[in-house]
Amino acid sequence: MDFLIDLFYQIGMTSFRQLQYLIAVADRKNFRLAASSLHVSQPTLSLQLQKLEEQLDVRLIERSVHPVCLTPIGHEIVARARKLLLDLNELEACAKRSTGELVGTISLGVSPTLGPYLLPGIVGVLKQEMPSLHLYIREGIPQEQMFDLRSGALDMILTPVTSIGSDLHIEHLFDEDLHLVAPPEHPFAARSGLRRSDLGGADTLGIDPRYPFHQQTREICSELGLNLLGNYEGTSLDSLSQMCASGLGLAILPDLYLRSEVGGKNIIVPLAIQDWKSRRSVAAIWRANSVYGHHYAQVAMIIKREAQLMLNAKAQG
């Protein structure tokens, strides 16, 4: 333990940026991906980590293995560095809380399978009800954004519900129906009384496997006997909608997306399947015990309320 205390005394003399570099490599297990996530070149990241090792006189990273992994002391330092950097962020946040309201900018991560159709109707409401708040919105892969949330690079994320650790708070926002869709000229589109048994073997498009929505699509395809195509994977809901409209295959899309401005109403149609229904859950996630936690809860409640209004509008329509 004395050895670690001595190391952290030395780290106190180093750049916090170097610790961020080390944490990024620990999370991504790849120098190129870590450098990209920090918006620096790979040589810059490698050089700074070498300097950190030289200053501490310990080996932190095993560079001869793939994927990259940390040495035992590297793991220990990363665990403590995470807490150190988060404590620093929280200290800065405490200093800004004197007004009692959330002032400044929230870094909000959002999945491309969610943000483009959910946020346009909500940003204006947030601006009206929380005028001192600004949103820096970053789309990205949910799993990667979890890393950024834990490191403090993001304050909050909106994502389809996934498993998380005890260090994060999850706030359920809403559930939305999922629909199997087809182009208007597809034989299924004109069928009344369509049932699950009618769908067996139909080609169906999926999204990039890095998104939680891919796993849910795979489960639905297995449930309905659909053939999930591996050669044509969308990178967004828009690309799924457009590929479906072109005739490549059926697609599974969320309800609010289909009713949004970008939902492709004129090029695809939801299929009315009598004996099938599926939903997905959407949540807001932030660091547990954050000094801004109650403010993030306010933002989440506004999003939850507005999303519910959109869902109720459909029910009344």
Q: What is the pLDDT of residues 134-193, one digit of tens each?
A: 889 999 988 889 888 887 888 999 998 766 777 889 999 999 999 999 999 999 998 888
> Span 25-31, mean pLDDT?
87
Confidence of residue 3 (pLDDT cuts 50, 70, 90): very low
> Over pLDDT 70: what percentage of the chain?
87
* pTM of structure: 0.70
Residue 303 pLDDT more than 60? yes
* pLDDT value, residue 109: 94
Contacts of residues 193-201 at CB distance under 8 Å and 24 or more positions apart, as own/partner, are 193/274, 194/271, 194/272, 194/273, 194/274, 195/273, 195/274, 195/275, 196/224, 196/225, 196/273, 196/275, 196/276, 199/224, 199/225, 199/226, 199/273, 200/224, 200/225, 200/226, 201/225, 201/226, 201/227
> Span 257-282, mean pLDDT?
88
